[in-house]
Amino acid sequence: MPQAKATSRIFLGALAALLCAPVLAATTVVTADRMLDVLAGRMVDKPAVVVVDGRIRAVLAQGDAAIPKDAGRIDLSGQTLLPGLVDMHVHLASDATIDGYRELDYTDAFWVAVGVANARAMLEAGFTTVRNVGSRGYADVGIKQAVDAGYVPGPRIVPATYALGSTGGHCDGTEGLPPSFAPVATPSVADGPEGFRKLVRTVHKYGAEVIKICATGGVLSRTDAPGAQQMSFEEIKAAVDEAHRLGLKVAAHAHGLSGINDCLRAGCDTIEHASLANEESFALAKAHGAWFSMDIYDDDYILAEGRKNGMFEESLAKERAIGLKQRQTFRAAYAAGVKMIFGTDNGGVFPAGQNALQFATMVQWGMPPLEAIRAATRNAAQALGREGDVGAIEVGRYGDFVAVQGDPLQDVRLLEHPTAVIKGGERVK
């Protein structure tokens, strides 16, 4: 009997292979004039990338005999192909044009609908993967599920769910409201190491794939100071240890120096904003292998549009005090050799889909175009721990691409106007 069983299993296996392989395998060949190999740091002429069932099967030269003849074709002649971009700091379920108390005009589910629109805008802007570092009500998990199931278009989403922080801190959802308005139980606020341990476990239970903590004050919250530390070292450490035990990385919102340095000592994987970091922070980041995710474009938008959007006067004053300093820190951190990823705060701070505006700011403040592009591809994939999936045009990774007209290493602003976007081998723009 065991032999008969084994035989029938082999037969079924062969039958399944026969039925499935030729029928289900969707093969697409993407061709362009040039391709940016972000791993090698060079342009490749006349590439032909073969994508089978959503993943890259081969990276060939045009005319290669191994290119499948009967495959679908995406011909991007005259264009430059790059890996799909990754934004490591977005807020899908936010609207940058609705700030301050104006947010109270809307019911909770409104923000999920906003998130659906924002997901599409970011995808069509060439961002085929986004890390969503904070939204309420598990909106990002729901949007991710709807995108993955094909209900709505959107990038690959790495959800953090709630951003976790202390009572009255930057990520306390009812900060800025009187006591009688608050606190509805939300899994975003805790005090003490055990409290943070429990929050990490809770958001992980409900779909978080990365943990976001708020270690210092922020700009868009009304009542706190960006430089002020809002989680103790012990609280940060508890959150990090618990997250790492669960296999999750930790993104730490930190503007102020002591908060940044405690986050680095506690093992946070990415420092968001990093505005007031100094030489000691740079050394700690390098020693611990942490990444800086610095949203240095935002200052332009906040100072130009913030008041019109209803942003708190307090927030505008904080931005004026910290915006330029953050850009100077960015330049110094990059020069010191701190590893950088591309994170913008898009969706939350400036309109969804304008993510690529930050490339030019990064170049203006000292980063060569290739490194700015790597921050949004190769480096982002490393910081996510998903080098097998995204961040480069390489065999095995998803067939995610963005194309531009011209050479983005000469003019990084070309990324603001992608001519084509492909996700999993399917053209979405």
Query: Can you give the binding site for Zn ion, defined by CB under 5 A?
Result: 345
In the complex with Zn ion, the residue whose CB is nearer, 170 or 397, is: 170
In the complex with Zn ion, the residue whose CB is nearer, 252 or 428, is: 252
Min separation Cβ 131 and Zn ion, Å? 10
Min separation Cβ 13 and Zn ion, Å? 48
In the complex with Zn ion, the residue whose CB is nearer, 87 or 345, is: 345
In the complex with Zn ion, the residue whose CB is nearer, 81 or 130, is: 130
Min separation Cβ 270 and Zn ion, Å? 12
In the complex with Zn ion, the residue whose CB is nearer, 345 or 400, is: 345
Tokens of 281: 């922070």
Min separation Cβ 293 and Zn ion, Å? 9
Min separation Cβ 223 and Zn ion, Å? 17
Q: Which residue is nearest to Zn ion (CB)?
A: 345
In the complex with Zn ion, the residue whose CB is nearer, 281 or 344, is: 344
Min separation Cβ 89 and Zn ion, Å? 6
In the complex with Zn ion, the residue whose CB is nearer, 59 or 210, is: 210
CA 384-387-389 angle, to 5 degrees, is: 100
Q: How far apart are CA 143 and CA 119, in angstroms?
A: 8
In the complex with Zn ion, the residue whose CB is nearer, 49 or 349, is: 349
In the complex with Zn ion, the residue whose CB is nearer, 114 or 404, is: 114
In the complex with Zn ion, the residue whose CB is nearer, 172 or 345, is: 345
Min separation Cβ 297 and Zn ion, Å? 13
Three-class DSSP labels, the chain: CHHHHHHHHHHHHHHHHHHHHHHHCCEEEEEEEEEEECCCCEEEECEEEEEECCEEEEEEECCCCCCCCCCEEEEEEEEEEEECEEEEEECCCCCCCCCHHHHHHCCCCHHHHHHHHHHHHHHHCCEEEEEECCCHHHHHHHHHHHHHCCCCCCCEEEECCCEEECCCCCCCCCCCCCHHHCCCCCCCECCCHHHHHHHHHHHHHCCCCEEEEECECCCCCCCCCCCCECCCHHHHHHHHHHHHHCCCEEEEEECCHHHHHHHHHHCCCEEEECCCCCHHHHHHHHHHCCEEECCCCHHHHHHHHCCCCCCCHHHHHHHHHHHHHHHHHHHHHHHCCCEEECCCCECCCECCCCCCHHHHHHHHCCCCHHHHHHHCCHHHHHHHCCCCCCCCCCCCCECCEEEECCCCCCCHHHHHCCCEEEECCEECC
Min separation Cβ 220 and Zn ion, Å? 8
Min separation Cβ 346 and Zn ion, Å? 9
Cβ(380)–Cβ(125) under 8 Å?
no
Dihedral sign for Cα 416, 417, 418, 420, please: positive
Min separation Cβ 91 and Zn ion, Å? 6
